[in-house]
Structure 1
Amino acid sequence: MTNYPVRYRDLIDAEIWSFIEKTESFYPADAVDGSVDYQRRVYNQMCQAFTESYPKGIDASESSLQSRSADGQIAYVKQRCYTSSKTNDDCVVLYFHGGGFVVGDLDSHDSVCADICDSTHLRVVSTDYRLLPESSALSAYEDALNAFDHACQRHAKIILCGDSAGANLCAAVAHTDKRRKITHRIDPEKSQLAGQVLIYPGLGGSLNSASALEHCEAPMLTRSDVEYYESLRHSKNCRDYRIRPLKDTDFSNLPVTHCFSAQCDPLADDGKAYCNRITNAGGTAHFTCEQGLVHGYLRARHCSSRALLSFNRICAAISALT
């Protein structure tokens, strides 16, 4: 296993270390130098190793959604809808997976979405999106916004939820929805967007923040990893809120927001800063820093008591938005 700074031995418990070791076992020493296709294969194999069968009564069906880019290009994006006999169809959870905008798909987060559906009794629609480097920096955002608009045509309430890069997409969509309501003079209280739940989000914060410096060599995600993903998205100096939501200049009239960051994660301060800006603008936001956890801990919910407790808090936050 990688030699991490000694302080992590005190911060991280045995269950999470076991999760880290199992995750790292899928990555050869030269994995970082492999092609994007190779990185995707390794990532999917790793995710599959943590995938559990669906809870009893959960069903899933797939569909395809047409997405049009600003330049007129058309893409077909896959969606997977999770339901049970208990689901409330008035409200839907629109979920976007993580993976640095480079890896990840519907399968990598399949059991996560099934478990959210089972815990919340809400319909969950997991939406894929175009990845880097094949697509442009805004392609994922365009796919996410299109999925949101599609959901608004079919459901009374939408809850945005996502992890890591997927959380970035949630925030970008929420800021766009807020802007459109201002343009069309729609009362924010009448918004179909009930709220957003962001899990270890990367929102374009400074890589010189306290968490980025303190946890620059953290297990599961280092500051160098973040820099690599930013370089592919050309986002280092970008001030476009659709790519870096923390660069927006107006945080008023955003929906109720819950952010869950991992303590041992260079991105931890992004969620904190985002919630602070919403509350300072008069909105409602709740920040939770999950102690002793690392980036990607959702996959550890079946092997770590700490990760499971956080997952339960995440599901409770989703349920509270209905």
Structure 2
Amino acid sequence: MTLTNTPLPTSPMDPGLAAFLAQAAAQGNPPLETLPPAVGRQIYRELAAALSLPPPDVARAENRIVEGPGGPLALRIYRPLVPAPASVLLPALLYLHGGGFVIGDLETHDAVCRTLCHEAGMLVVAVDYRLAPEHPFPAAVDDAAFALQWLAAQAVELGADPARLALAGDSAGAQLAATACMRAGASVAVRALGLIYPVAQHYTEPSPSMAENGEGKFLTHGVMKWFIDGYLGGRDELRRHPDFALLHAPGLATLPPTWIATMGHDPLRDEGHALARRLDSAGVPVTHRHDPGGIHACIHFTAVSPIGHQLVVALAHWLRART
């Protein structure tokens, strides 16, 4: 879509997503931010498993442990079903999962990564980075940046082309993907960056979309505060740190061609839109996909609405064309 300062359009929420939210509200479960992080993580795993369509087949999914900056770091490597000789090196994607830097793991995003691997025909490496509040900022971004360097160094051994690398992530993972890319600079040849409803700026003053969508639409203002407080360890001065607040990061102009998705009923809609405009102004080629009827985390809700699956497939095809 064309990048302008005009507010992004909204439409009535997708009927399947609206029905899911109504059912969830009727159950009267305690707010996520009132629960211990370990309980929130298990709820997220169960929700993703229950509401996702069965993922497509891949050739293999291999778990691997490497020594990261904070100790053992778990990765999951997905290989696509592609009829190519073993000597042909594949493009590769490093994927950073969402979950507000507090929840999420390799299991919550397994279906997403399998879909990307299948649809893009790429080797996909998912990163189980350290989570807050046990490991506050900058642990997650340190792990993400390390994983990118690791992938670049090990690409050939994995059967991937180090000159055909991409990064992607959703929500907090999108923030980590962009930051890892800026940290790497010219040391890694990243061809493309995919950001699904990114965390780009979260200050004490809410954006219009945070005020508009901050209650009753899955990602609430209270949950977002819980995430950010846990990640930043309550240190408000870090809210403008360039490794956190993408809209104030000095290295935006160094990013590769970038694909950004926003949702009409997402509290993060406006900051994602602002990031797309900022990148465009910095000279970065930007593709902005906006779904007026979508909500945050819709990539997990593919069994109740087509929006999330269509979004992931669109990203996969964009990545395929640029790597």
> Do the two structures share a fold, i.e. TM-score over 0.5?
yes
Structure 2 counterpart of 1:148: 148
Structure 2 counterpart of 1:80: 76
Report the CA distance between 1:140 and its aligned residue.
Answer: 0.5
Report the CA distance between 1:171 and its aligned residue.
Answer: 0.9
Question: 1:96, 1:107 → 2: CA distance?
Answer: 12
Are residue 267 (structure 1) and residue 263 (structure 2) matched? no
Give the secondary structure class of the aligned counterpart of 1:11. Answer: coil
Relative to structure 1, is the Cα distance of residues 21 and 83 closer, same or farther in structure 2, using a 3 angstrom cutoff?
farther
Question: 1:10, 1:275 → 2: CA distance?
Answer: 21
Give the secondary structure class of the aligned counterpart of 1:94. Answer: strand
Paired residue type of 1:315: A
Relative to structure 1, is the Cα distance of residues 196 and 125 closer, same or farther in structure 2, using a 3 angstrom cutoff?
same
Structure 2 counterpart of 1:193: 190
Structure 2 counterpart of 1:280: 281
Do 1:97 and 1:163's aligned partners in 2 also have CA atoms closer than 8 Å?
Answer: yes
Question: 2:321, 2:42 → 1: CA distance?
Answer: 36
Do 1:261 and 1:289's aligned partners in 2 also have CA atoms closer than 8 Å?
Answer: yes
Structure 1 counterpart of 2:90: 90
Structure 1 counterpart of 2:120: 120
Relative to structure 1, is the Cα distance of residues 25 and 292 closer, same or farther in structure 2, using a 3 angstrom cutoff?
same
Structure 2 counterpart of 1:301: 302
Give the secondary structure class of the aligned counterpart of 2:252. Answer: coil
Question: 1:29, 1:114 → 2: CA distance?
Answer: 31
Relative to structure 1, is the Cα distance of residues 229 and 31 closer, same or farther in structure 2, using a 3 angstrom cutoff?
closer
Question: 2:223, 2:32 → 1: CA distance?
Answer: 13
Structure 2 counterpart of 1:14: 15
Structure 1 counterpart of 2:5: none
Report the CA distance between 1:85 and its aligned residue.
Answer: 3.2
Do 1:301 and 1:311's aligned partners in 2 also have CA atoms closer than 8 Å?
Answer: no
- The structure 2 residue matched to 1:162, chosen from 169, 183, 195, is 169
Structure 1 counterpart of 2:134: 134
Structure 1 counterpart of 2:181: 174
- 1:247-262 aligned at under 5 Å gives the runs 247-262=248-263
RMSD (CA atoms) = 2.3
Structure 2 counterpart of 1:4: none
Do 1:26 and 1:45's aligned partners in 2 also have CA atoms closer than 8 Å?
Answer: no
Q: Any gaps of 5 or more consecutive residues in structure 2?
A: 1-9, 156-161
State percent identity of aligned pairs. 25
Relative to structure 1, is the Cα distance of residues 251 and 258 closer, same or farther in structure 2, using a 3 angstrom cutoff?
same
Q: Could you list the per-position Cα deviations for residues 265-284 of structure 1 after superposition, in whole angstroms to 9, with x for gaps in the alignment?
A: 11111221112112212221
Relative to structure 1, is the Cα distance of residues 78 and 22 closer, same or farther in structure 2, using a 3 angstrom cutoff?
farther
Question: 2:244, 2:57 → 1: CA distance?
Answer: 38
Between 92-101 and 53-62, the greater mean CA deviation after superposition: 53-62
Structure 2 counterpart of 1:203: 200
Relative to structure 1, is the Cα distance of residues 224 and 34 closer, same or farther in structure 2, using a 3 angstrom cutoff?
closer
Report the CA distance between 1:77 and its aligned residue.
Answer: 1.1
Between 269-278 and 205-214, the greater mean CA deviation after superposition: 205-214
Paired residue type of 1:82: Y
Report the CA distance between 1:286 and its aligned residue.
Answer: 1.9
Paired residue type of 1:126: A
Are residue 233 (structure 1) and residue 240 (structure 2) matched? no
Do 1:57 and 1:84's aligned partners in 2 also have CA atoms closer than 8 Å?
Answer: yes
Paired residue type of 1:227: K
TM-score scaled by length of structure 1: 0.85
After TM superposition, the runs of 4+ consecutive aligned structure 1 residues lying more than 4 A away are 21-27
Q: Could you list the per-position Cα deviations for residues 246-291 of structure 1 after superposition, in whole angstroms to 9, with x for gaps in the alignment?
A: 2213422221111101111111112211121122122211222211
Structure 2 counterpart of 1:310: 311
Relative to structure 1, is the Cα distance of residues 26 and 65 closer, same or farther in structure 2, using a 3 angstrom cutoff?
farther
Report the CA distance between 1:309 and its aligned residue.
Answer: 2.6
